[in-house]
Copies of this chain bind each other. A is one copy, B any other.
Amino acid sequence: MTVTGPLSGITIVDLTRVLAGPFCTLILSDLGARVIKVEHPDGGDLARTLGPWFNGKSGYLLSVNRGKESIALDLKSENDLAIFHRLLAGADVLVENYRPGVMERIGLGWESLHARYPTLIYAATSGFGHSGPYSSYAAYDLVAQAMGGVMSITGHPGSPPTRVGTSIGDIAAGLFTAVGINAALVHRAKTGEGMKIDVAMLDCQVAITENAIARHFAGDAPGPIGARHPVVAPFDAFPTQDRYIIIAIGDDAAYRKFCATIGREDLATTPLFLTNTLRLEHQQLLKDELSAVLAERSGAEWLTILRAAGFPCGPINTIEDVVNDPQVAARNMIVEVEDPKAGTVKLFGCPIKMSAFDDPHRRATAPELDGDRERILKEIADDDQR
């Protein structure tokens, strides 16, 4: 059940919990790395206590920990700390998402680990990073989303605060950490040197907010604008006879063709709508015009017409629509694990498809707390005998 991939042969010691770190190490695991989750004996990863539930097993845990191994170690116990060091001695990467300073207090800070394991890559994911005035502040996804600005540009004008519906505060940090770890592995292959990677959830929110930052410095004041695009029009969710659909027209030529396709050639030559800049300026008027036409047919009919003409368009899918979508199935984006407790569970797959490796549909499940202890200890003992 182990996945073979570009990171096969790489061992990750994983101290992370809940989401940002586990999302990162799930990607590394899907790329072939061996991920050993080191959890506290007292309950382990907090995700183990969070729903949704599958026969009493946490779906929160399963979702981002499939394919990993688990050993429970109390790093404050001398014996367990010795086992942890044996793991580090055989590892390529250590990942942790404690608050800054926690690793130093238990003698596992970057400086001392680097001195002892010079080839080890040390990746830290935290709310605000290992420097700066907020470094010691606690953060969860929602705090990063709020402080990073993405909430201020999500939602409808005048609506109460709106969170991005998925935990993008954690997930963006997990992704950037995964990029950093892989890049550090490239560097190590060349030089033999490990390095520390320090990724902050707040910094990652700043990075993904990119265009809004440019707009701010250009004198704009970005705010929530519903479903429309900030600098392109028409590029929005439009009502049809029965449901909203997405229509995304990227440039003037496409706009003219679009007007012809929906039988409103007149809108192509209306002076107020001639260029993207003009359409942006008069977008409400344009939206009203388009909505009136679109109300004449169902969403499905319009999508057939617009797709035949090559326009970027689509339905607004529910999660149920997504998991039953034929394209999602064809791309193996819903995979299965067979869990002794939860039974067969479907989870999201790996979006990095590689010509050199298979993309198995059946994947290994998430480990029980301490579920791989015996085998891991035996491996250490075997190594000692060599």
Known: A140-B235, A165-B153, A209-B166. A146 touches B330 (CB 8 A): no
Measured CA separation A277–B52 after assembly (Å): 11
Q: How far is the CA of A277 from the CA of B352 in the complex (A)?
A: 35
Q: A139-B312, A196-B354 are in contact. Are A63 and B213 (CB under 8 A)?
A: yes
**Dominant SS at the A interface?**
mixed
* Residue of A148, A227, A323 contacting most chain B CB atoms (<10 Å): A227
Say yes or no for A107: interface residue by CB 8 A criterion: no
- Say if the beta carbon of A301 comes within 8 Å of chain B: no
Contacts of A227 in B (CB 8 A): 142, 151, 160-163
Contact A149 B322 (CB under 8 A): yes
CB contact under 8 A between A190 and B193, given known A210-B63, A348-B207? no
Complex CA gap A142/B199 in Å reads: 28
* Neighbouring B residues of A115 by C-beta, 8 Å: none
Is A210 in contact with B325, judged by CB distance below 8 angstroms? no
Residues A174-225 near B (CB distance < 8 A):
175-180, 182-187, 189-190, 193, 195-200, 202-204, 206-225
25 contacts between A and B (CB under 8 A): A7-B187, A50-B276, A51-B215, A60-B214, A128-B327, A129-B331, A131-B331, A133-B327, A134-B326, A140-B235, A142-B229, A142-B246, A142-B312, A147-B325, A150-B165, A151-B316, A152-B321, A155-B159, A156-B162, A172-B175, A197-B354, A210-B348, A213-B348, A217-B345, A217-B347
Whether A171 pairs with B140 at a CB distance below 8 angstroms is no
Could you tell me if A312 and B187 are in contact, using CB atoms closer than 8 angstroms?
Answer: no
Chain B residue, CB-CB nearest to A221: B320
A224: chain B residues within 8 A (beta carbon): 165
Q: Does A311 contact B (CB under 8 A)?
A: yes
- The answer to whether B171 touches A208, judged by C-beta atoms less than 8 angstroms apart, is yes
- CB neighbours of A23 from chain B (8 A): 210
Question: Known: A206-B328, A246-B146, A314-B147. Contact between A155 and B152, CB under 8 A?
Answer: no
How far apart are the CA atoms of A88 and B319 in the complex, in Å? 41
Q: Please, how many angstroms separate the alpha-carbon atoms of A276 and B6 in the complex?
A: 40
Query: Does A350 sit at the interface, judged by CB under 8 A?
Result: yes
Interface presence of A82 (CB below 8 A): no
Residue from B178, B197, B221, B316 in contact with A353 in the complex, judged by beta carbons closer than 8 Å: B197
A298, CB-defined interface residue at 8 Å: no
The chain B residue sitting closest to A280, CB to CB, is B51
Shortest A381–chain B CB gap in Å is 29
Is the C-beta of A138 less than 8 angstroms from some C-beta in chain B?
yes
The one of B6, B127, B209, B321 in contact with A187, judged by C-beta atoms closer than 8 angstroms, is: B6
Judge if A360 is at the interface, Cβ distance under 8 Å: no
A13 beta carbon closer than 8 Å to chain B:
no
Assess whether A250 is in contact with B140, with CB atoms less than 8 Å apart: yes
Q: Which of A134, A135, A327, A347 gathers most chain B CB within 10 Å?
A: A327
B residues within 8 A CB of A334?
206, 213
Q: Is A73 an interface residue (CB 8 A)?
A: no
Contacts of A310 in B (CB 8 A): 138
From B155, B199, B347, contact of A155 by CB (8 A) = B155
Is A168 at the interface (CB under 8 A from chain B)?
yes
